[in-house]
Structure 1
Amino acid sequence: MPARMRHVRAIAVVMGCASLALAVTLPAQAAAHHRKGIEREVLPAGDGWAAAEGSTTGGAGATPDHVYTVSDRAELIAAFEEAGDAPKIIRIDGTVHGNSDAAGTPIGCEAYQRDGYTLEKYLAAYDPAVWGRDEVPAGPLEDARAASAKLQAAAVNVNVPSNTTLVGVGEDATIIGASLQVKNVSNVIVRNISFEDTYDCFPQWDPTDGDNGAWNSEYDNLVVYGSSHVWVDHNTFSDGDRPDADQPHYFGRVYQQHDGLFDIVRGADLVTVSWNVLKDHDKTMLIGNSDGAGASDRGKLRVTLHHNLFQDVKERAPRVRFGQVDSYNNHFVATEGAAYGYTYGIGAESALVAEHNAFTVPAGFDKATILKKWSESSLTAENNYVNGRKTDLIAVHNAGVPAEQLTEGAGWTPTLRTKTDSPRAVPGLVDRKAGAGKAPGC
């Protein structure tokens, strides 16, 4: 159904974050326009870097004809295209599948296969026993994989325009298998949505990646790329029903179908990430994607992370390059048996302030691994608690990893914080209030 036709829907009575449809059909955009609620909220003053140098209002000023309710990929794209850069509110009602046909019905990877590609043929062609380990795959099967991947990319990548509020309706609004691209735009708000399983049907085998080769995939659930004034609040990010831990191994390496959960890259700036849940994933969040991107990233990548729950994520929570990143009042949880590498990655010219955070980890956990030094950069890490005890993360790291010493002092002091909670209170507070379906005012 075209997005414009979707303007006419049943009025919804909001109860918490759930909605109850009444047997009256009126223009939903008119009802939304007159009802104050989450969809017209703007970023509070002083709430992180997205509140600097102006404000982040998204589509709060949308006129009634630019409020849309969508329930499949085609409607979502049509709404973005119809409204353009005008202020707009896009309401996700139900589950939107990125891998779907024109009617919104989910489709499998075989729908994208071209030129004779199958995984079985690919594995046979590039088995290290046949192909070797000195060169990346080339030839007809690699060309077929690339053509198939290009077709999937056209479906999975969805571009979000400027002046947009993208908000979930109720407690179960979900986007599965789509990569939301907030790319070279400004003034965007994303709230109250569960993002799941943005998977690559066609990972590429690279036998030269590391000592044993690796499968490399595309797509993040959400990417902020070259954009400014972005607020991402009360969402849940995960691999859904396809966790990395359950993936098969080929050529002795995990068949990796996921990239990141949520990346902020390529000169993105003035971003606030608050009250989200990021869970059950490997490469979680990059802030700055390349050591060589200094020309575009210096003076940018100013990001605030607060009151987020990072649950059983292996690494990059986040990994930081360049930029002034303020990470406070987050709860990091590592469960016994879950894969874990590190939490904060200290990268090229990073200026990370990590304060008032809480870590809940199993017995025997090596606290020296919470920080990982990738490049020579300093950081501030004050008043952080591990299992309820105040812990000097830098001192613990330097004692445990003497070959990779970190120095104190990020060189700046964050001021854009509306409230700082005691790290002792953070686990209960964040676990109770973070994630989709829990935004105040729903």
Structure 2
Amino acid sequence: MRLLALASFVALTAAAPAPAPVLSSTATDPVPSATPTDTEPGPPLQLKAASISDVANLGFATLNGGTTGGAGGNVTVVSTLSEFTAAVSEKNPEPAIVVINGTIVGDAKVRIGSNKTIIGLPGSGFVGVGLYFKRQRNLILRNIVASFVEAKNGDVLGIDGSTNVWVDHCEFYSSLAADKDFHDGLVDATHGADYITISHTYFHDHWKGSLVGHNDDNAAEDQGKLHITYANNHWKNVNSRGPLFRFGTGHIYNSMSTGINTRMNAQLLIQNNVFRNVPLPITSRDSREVG
């Protein structure tokens, strides 16, 4: 079903299945000017219902021209894998808003083109379908529940060499009962990806959470890039990578975390996070250079 975006307004309730802490920002240390996040003290923000017209409003995704996704494009509601694949094709860079209705189940890796907003109706998302942003730009993924992607189909969301990405109010998971390599990462940003915000998202029950920078020897491609904000997220029962950074510049705040690993000259500003029963909440390990 295709609708003109300017003629329709779909208010979607935010998919927030976890009680992620949304804490007031009380840090007194100034944030480096390169970090575009609000650090003024005050009460927690009141979250409004998501809409198809929203653009990135916090973190690094607001820089480099901002992240607007498919704003201004046609709206398509999809409920099958074939409909979804056609609607987000990387061969078509025109703006488009793709609304997911229900759970799309498949054994596939779907490459998604630039200038797209993918947003789910309440409880909607994917099972077994890897989402892949490869050398694209200006992408929004919101209100999506995605799970159980086998490693052969990549990560639940792979951001590979893409810029200006906003991931918001999503839930990503699998199961710790599986072998640690049966599933890959939940959200990985690699190969010089840049200007990314991941916010209000629930990561849980997974071996390898979120990786930034895939290899210690990839400095030529990653150095000076991988600017990523993690804001207001909840990590639970995630064995590692909560998140793990190489080379990049990150701001991680107002989150419940299972441990942050900063490696290979990564630069992180870490504020107002909660760690429970985590032996090494912030560390630099398993790499020849510290972060």
Q: TM-score range by the shorter chain?
A: 0.7 to 0.9
**Residues 244, 256 of structure 1: 8 Å contact kept:** no
Which secondary structure does the structure 2 equivalent of 1:244 belong to?
Answer: coil
Per residue, is there more strand in 1 or in 2? Answer: 2
Q: Which amino acid aligns with 1:43?
A: A
Q: Deviations over 1:220-256 (max 9, x none)?
A: 10011100000000000011xxx132x3xxxxxx474
Report the alpha carbon displacement of residue 40 of structure 1 after superposing the two structures with TM. 1.0
Which secondary structure does the structure 1 equivalent of 2:220 belong to?
Answer: helix
Q: Deviations over 1:369-397 (max 9, x none)?
A: 5424233334xxxxxxxxxxxxxxxxxxx
For the aligned residues, what is the CA RMSD? 1.9
- What is the TM-score of this pair, normalised by structure 2? 0.81
Establish whether residue 181 from structure 1 lines up as the match of residue 132 from structure 2: yes
**Other-structure match for 2:20:** none
**Other-structure match for 1:301:** 226
- What is the TM-score of this pair, normalised by structure 1? 0.54
**Other-structure match for 1:356:** 272
Which secondary structure does the structure 2 equivalent of 1:178 belong to?
Answer: strand
**Other-structure match for 1:279:** 204
Which secondary structure does the structure 2 equivalent of 1:57 belong to?
Answer: coil
The alpha-carbon distance between structure 1 residues 48 and 83, as it changes in their structure 2 partners (threshold 3 A), is same
Q: Which amino acid aligns with 1:310?
A: W
Establish whether residue 232 from structure 1 lines up as the match of residue 144 from structure 2: no
Query: What is the count of residue pairs matched by the alignment?
Result: 251
The separation in 1 between residues aligned to 2:249 and 2:105, in whole angstroms, is 35
Q: Deviations over 1:153-172 (max 9, x none)?
A: xxx11011100000001x21
Identical-pair percentage: 34
Establish whether residue 292 from structure 1 lines up as the match of residue 217 from structure 2: yes
The alpha-carbon distance between structure 1 residues 89 and 266, as it changes in their structure 2 partners (threshold 3 A), is same
Paired residues for 1:25-104 under 5 Å: 29-30=3-4, 33-35=7-9, 37=11, 38-44=51-57, 47-62=58-73, 66-81=74-89, 84-99=92-107
**Other-structure match for 1:377:** 290
Choose the corresponding residue for 2:112, options 146, 152, 160.
Answer: 160
Gaps of at least 5 residues in structure 2 are 12-50
- Which runs of structure 1 show a deviation greater than 4 angstroms over 4 or more consecutive aligned residues? none
Which secondary structure does the structure 1 equivalent of 2:89 belong to?
Answer: helix
The alpha-carbon distance between structure 1 residues 97 and 344, as it changes in their structure 2 partners (threshold 3 A), is same
Report the alpha carbon displacement of residue 356 of structure 1 after superposing the two structures with TM. 1.2
Q: Deviations over 1:306-340 (max 9, x none)?
A: 0000011010011110011111111126xxxxxxx
Per residue, is there more helix in 1 or in 2? Answer: 1
Establish whether residue 270 from structure 1 lines up as the match of residue 195 from structure 2: yes
The separation in 2 between residues aligned to 1:57 and 1:317, in whole angstroms, is 27
Which secondary structure does the structure 2 equivalent of 1:271 belong to?
Answer: strand
The separation in 1 between residues aligned to 2:134 and 2:99, in whole angstroms, is 20
Gaps of at least 5 residues in structure 1 are 1-5, 8-28, 100-155, 201-216, 248-253, 334-342, 379-442
